[in-house]
Structure 1
Amino acid sequence: MGLLRFVVDSEEILKDWPEVYHGYLAGPDGRIFPSRMEVEGNVLGCRRNTSESGKFHIAWPVAGHGRLLLCTGSLPERQEPYVLALELARGKIVQLRDQASQWELSGLRIPVNYYDLLKQAQAHFRQAVLEDDLSRMCELASQAIVSACDAAKELGQAYSRQALASRQQRYPHLPAILGIELEHAAPHENWSLITSPFNSACLRLDWKEVEPQEGDYSWELTDQQLEWCESRKMVVRAGPLLDFGPGGLPGWLAPWEHDPFNLQSFICDFIETAMLRYQGRVRLWEIATRFNTGGALKLPEDQRLALLARVLDIARQVDEESQLILRVDQPWGDYMAKGQHRLSPIQTVDALVRSGVGLSGANLEIAVGYQPASTQHRDLLDFSRLIDLWGGLGIPLHVTLSCPSAGIADLETTTETGVDPRLWKNGPSESEQADWATQIMQLLIAKPAVVGVTWKHLNDATPHSLPHSGLWDAQSQPKEIFQRLKKLNS
């Protein structure tokens, strides 16, 4: 067993820091080790099954940014605990300088303000290193982190602006489709507003709702939504057809949980039925979601992967011309720290790409600001590196985004998911949601590997899985994010 230990300023900061138990270690190559956090006084310990050097990741309160996931440099084990704030500052400054150097070599014009903020971060860090008093050292290191995160935001926004401007010189419109996942309801007059910011729509084809009882299909809602999209010449994506997350598959499949042959038969039959019904009208099919995290029918990881490969093969036989994509839950793979999965999300998709089953792309789902299971809050540089990493697979990338606009109870939420108000600098609000969405979308659209960006939910007035995630509020009135996205696509 390996153990890395870190000291913090005092025990007081641990009282309102539940994220401390979600820290984890990753190797220099990004591989996440199964990790377990321990707290004793003001000393944190992170255990894993190897003694290799590793980078420690943890959500850290950063003034003006909320609780961002930060990481240290690669650290070896030692008897004396590391000062956590100091190592996080060191790690952020190194990441910042490396990214700026890479982008500058590729032609990015680095803003002057970035250099000023970097100098501030380095000055605070130098003072912290020379300080003997732990409290003062942590204070200076925290100031270095704030300046470094300010610089990262400045750098990320500069990249987004310049890279997007470069792409728009080659394309008369946005170089990626901008989509919305439609609510599970019949089209109504408010939907006419959708076509202003969006040129694409995702039709939910939830197997549980389409076939609530074996052999009893209900296609009316999907038929109406598809006709509405076609009449407005929107790019249509349908799915996910399969949801391998907890409770994601129809309840009537439960008796076949331990019968892989019949389970595969039922699943493939539904895939074939759905695709044949809309063949020629839907060209982009989202076959499955949460296949990498799992939870449905307690299917083991290897069985899910084998089943998914078979499903993709069947889907390709049904429609040789359509694009087949998979939605990847938590694409950074933070959940790997629990030790319940063998393959990282990118390894899972890479295995399917290499198997030659006809996978056309991946849809990275990033839901920030929720609990218990969601993506941790990260800055623009981390998003950029994620897309660059996944872009290495050589397949088109789609990204589905969501974050909350409020922290109060949401009566239309269909899951037990709640809002984590601590992640945002001023708590969840419409303005915070709009700021986060527009910054991230601009960065994503600027990336050549990204062909489409979709917002997860339309309307808070109708049932939805993530609280306060809609572009319209509970009275079906547009939020600030909706107005901002209209400007983005203008």
Structure 2
Amino acid sequence: MGQMHFYVPDAAADFFHQCHWQEAYLCGIEGVPWQSRNIFHPSNDPSVLPTEEHADQPEADGGGVLTLNRAVDTSAKLLLTCPVEGIGFRVLTTCSLRCVETPHNLLVELARGSCHRVRIQADTWQRGGLTLSEKFNQLIGQGVTAFLDAIQPTNSALKPETPEFEAEVTQSAIQAIALLEQAASELGELFATQSMAFRRTREPRLSTMMAVGVCPASRAETASAANSATNPDDTIGGLSAEESVVPGFGEDGIGQAFNAAAVRISWGDIENDSGSNDFGPVTRVLEACEQSGTRVIGGPIIDHRDGLLPDWLTLLGDDFEQLMSAMTQFVEATVNQFRGRVHLWNAAAGLNIVGPLSLDDEQIMRFSIGILQTIRRCDPNTPVIMSIDQPCGEYLARHANGISPIHFADALLRSGLGLAGIGLNFRFGYSKGQTHPRSPVEFAQLIDRWATLNSPLLVQLSVPAAPGEDADARMKVSPVALSPGMNGTLDCEHQSKAWADQQYAFARPLVQTLLAKQIVHAVVWDGWSDQLPHLSPHSGVIDGAGNARPILRYLTELREEVLM
């Protein structure tokens, strides 16, 4: 078995125990994670703290050794979500390391990885014409100096492996990581700004679709809105109950920040009872889009994520042929119902991950191709994409069953069914199904890796702007702070503002990066208003009280200055 060990000195204990080490994973040069089992051995306790077993043991608070077990013993890189001063949580990556019995020094290797990534990418982009700033040069210089101090402490009087020696090494490594990751943020800003300026010399107004996710209200949600009305005519703010759950698409509504809408047309929402389709809520939203001239991305027609498929599918048991027949009937009815009113079909989402249907790889491919064939047969002219969940493949580190996201997408593109592009669903800051937070530089590198498929990309972003449960969200997951200080003792008002500011600070550079990439044809923000039905908890650009969040002001400025 290929075990990889990482030493955590006592001086690094505070840093390490804030890291999400239970979710750490190993991957090779192609970026696909290996399934692994993570165990932390405290140095002051012979017991073992694995990720799932012995959950009743008290959490260790000192140093020790982190071990990742996997089935192969080839060299690999460690990816670990860590707190970074001045930034928040961020995935840090080591360079490629060998499997050896002697533990690698965790903090030193993470600092080495940060140094390697930012220097190599800066050199690559600079050769391509990027102009580096004085701030970046200063940060990279200070970061490299701190890293050199970590591998060779300046105090030569300290003896190796003593607490004083380890404390100095740890302090220098943490300082190096902070400086180098700040340099990465600055580098990402430089790339996005200069690339955008270059694109606009040839395309003053970008043709990129900037869409917002819209969830048509179910009959039950519409009835709930009617019951909440207080005036005699059962209206809400002068609107009928049905109108009150449909967002406005004009210039004073969605149109102020977005030039398209990603309308959710999904099996789990429409066919609550087998053979009984309720297209009314979707029809109302599409009519509003038509009246305002808003382009429509329709789907995902099949959403293979927990809680988003029809409940009655459990009655089919393991009968795959019956499942295929039910799926085909629904997709055919849906596409025939809305053909000509949708400008881009999002066929399915999440089929690459382990979902509620428990299908094997062959069945997943047959299911996926069946969806595409049915859409193409019913509507041969409208472009079709397929969406990938967790595009970095974090789920592979914990589940033996699962398909590599990029290999799954490649197989679909090679199927010959005329797939027009690939959708990438990124959810940052959620308790389940999230993509680990990455720097703008690593995000740009990830998009470039997907660009090797030579297919247009649609990228969906979900970032929470408030803590706690969200009863109106379709996905039953919990927001997770993207910064260690977000779960502090702030009162509700200040905590809400801090989370909204966090959403803006995290998402803004990612949106800039995506608009700078010509391969990205559409960007979808997952959620307009938390007052209306929505998919991900607290992800809207308008909060539950109807107040605009900072990200809305930013997207509105982009719409006015950059987009068609």
- TM above 0.5, yes or no, is yes
Residue 86 (str. 1) matches residue 108 (str. 2): yes
Residue 165 (str. 1) matches residue 205 (str. 2): no
Residue 39 (str. 1) matches residue 109 (str. 2): no
Structure 2 residue matching 1:373: 3-state secondary structure: coil
Residue 140 (str. 1) matches residue 162 (str. 2): no
Structure 2 residue matching 1:432: 3-state secondary structure: helix
Larger Rg: 2
Q: Could you tell me which residue of structure 2 aligns to residue 115 of structure 1?
A: 137
Correspondence 1:229-244 to 2 at 5 A: 229-244=289-304
Q: Could you tell me which residue of structure 2 aligns to residue 197 of structure 1?
A: 257
Query: Unaligned regions of 5+ residues in structure 1, if any?
Result: none
**Partners of 1:89 and 1:377 in 2: CA distance:** 17
CA contact (8 A) 2:16 2:82 kept: no
Q: Could you tell me which residue of structure 2 aligns to residue 222 of structure 1?
A: 282
Alpha-carbon offset, residue 153 of structure 1: 0.5
Structure 1 residue matching 2:95: 3-state secondary structure: strand
**Partners of 2:281 and 2:399 in 1: CA distance:** 40
**Partners of 2:91 and 2:545 in 1: CA distance:** 34
CA contact (8 A) 2:19 2:82 kept: no
CA contact (8 A) 1:240 1:285 kept: yes
**Partners of 2:104 and 2:499 in 1: CA distance:** 36
* Greater shift in the superposed pair: 333-342 or 38-47: 333-342
Distance of aligned partners of 1:37 and 1:84 in 2 relative to their CA distance in 1, 3 Å threshold? same
**Partners of 1:62 and 1:412 in 2: CA distance:** 33
RMSD: 1.8
* Greater shift in the superposed pair: 298-307 or 404-413: 404-413
CA contact (8 A) 2:6 2:105 kept: yes
**Partners of 1:379 and 1:15 in 2: CA distance:** 19
Q: Could you tell me which residue of structure 2 aligns to residue 5 of structure 1?
A: 5
Q: Could you tell me which residue of structure 2 aligns to residue 407 of structure 1?
A: 467
AA in 1 matched with 2:458: H
Alpha-carbon offset, residue 142 of structure 1: 0.6
Q: Could you tell me which residue of structure 1 aligns to residue 359 of structure 2?
A: 299
Residue 19 (str. 1) matches residue 41 (str. 2): no
Q: Deviations over 1:165-221 (max 9, x none)?
A: 111222232341110011333555754311011000011112122111122111111
AA in 1 matched with 2:180: A
**Aligned residue pairs, count:** 490
Normalised by the size of structure 2, how large is the TM-score? 0.84
Alpha-carbon offset, residue 341 of structure 1: 3.2
Q: Could you tell me which residue of structure 1 aligns to residue 238 of structure 2?
A: none
**Partners of 2:482 and 2:335 in 1: CA distance:** 42
Correspondence 1:243-258 to 2 at 5 A: 243-258=303-318
Residue 458 (str. 1) matches residue 532 (str. 2): no
Distance of aligned partners of 1:335 and 1:101 in 2 relative to their CA distance in 1, 3 Å threshold? same
* Greater shift in the superposed pair: 33-42 or 16-25: 16-25
CA contact (8 A) 1:179 1:201 kept: yes
Q: Could you tell me which residue of structure 2 aligns to residue 372 of structure 1?
A: 432
AA in 2 matched with 1:345: P
Q: Could you tell me which residue of structure 2 aligns to residue 28 of structure 1?
A: 29
Alpha-carbon offset, residue 18 of structure 1: 6.1
AA in 2 matched with 1:160: A
Alpha-carbon offset, residue 339 of structure 1: 3.6
Alpha-carbon offset, residue 344 of structure 1: 0.8
Candidates 442, 452, 455, aligned match of 1:392: 452
AA in 1 matched with 2:201: Q
Residue 211 (str. 1) matches residue 282 (str. 2): no
CA contact (8 A) 2:427 2:433 kept: no
Residue 70 (str. 1) matches residue 70 (str. 2): no
Structure 2 residue matching 1:451: 3-state secondary structure: strand
Alpha-carbon offset, residue 88 of structure 1: 0.5
AA in 2 matched with 1:219: F
Distance of aligned partners of 1:434 and 1:342 in 2 relative to their CA distance in 1, 3 Å threshold? closer
Structure 1 residue matching 2:470: 3-state secondary structure: coil
* Greater shift in the superposed pair: 250-259 or 103-112: 250-259
**Partners of 1:372 and 1:472 in 2: CA distance:** 23
Structure 2 residue matching 1:291: 3-state secondary structure: coil
Q: Could you tell me which residue of structure 2 aligns to residue 105 of structure 1?
A: 127
Q: Could you tell me which residue of structure 1 aligns to residue 75 of structure 2?
A: 53
**Partners of 1:59 and 1:259 in 2: CA distance:** 40
Distance of aligned partners of 1:152 and 1:5 in 2 relative to their CA distance in 1, 3 Å threshold? same
Q: Could you tell me which residue of structure 1 aligns to residue 495 of structure 2?
A: none
Distance of aligned partners of 1:304 and 1:125 in 2 relative to their CA distance in 1, 3 Å threshold? same
**Partners of 2:472 and 2:14 in 1: CA distance:** 35
AA in 2 matched with 1:487: E
CA contact (8 A) 2:466 2:500 kept: yes
Residue 263 (str. 1) matches residue 323 (str. 2): yes
Structure 2 residue matching 1:327: 3-state secondary structure: strand
AA in 2 matched with 1:194: I
**Partners of 1:76 and 1:302 in 2: CA distance:** 34
**Partners of 1:465 and 1:311 in 2: CA distance:** 22
Structure 1 residue matching 2:22: 3-state secondary structure: helix
Normalised by the size of structure 1, how large is the TM-score? 0.96
Distance of aligned partners of 1:77 and 1:348 in 2 relative to their CA distance in 1, 3 Å threshold? same
CA contact (8 A) 1:246 1:297 kept: no
* Greater shift in the superposed pair: 92-101 or 418-427: 418-427
**Partners of 1:327 and 1:312 in 2: CA distance:** 12
Candidates 496, 514, 517, aligned match of 1:447: 517
Q: Deviations over 1:244-291 (max 9, x none)?
A: 122332122222232222211110111111111111221200010110
Candidates 215, 228, 236, aligned match of 1:183: 215
Alpha-carbon offset, residue 12 of structure 1: 4.1
Q: Could you tell me which residue of structure 1 aligns to residue 553 of structure 2?
A: 483
Alpha-carbon offset, residue 464 of structure 1: 3.2
CA contact (8 A) 1:174 1:489 kept: no
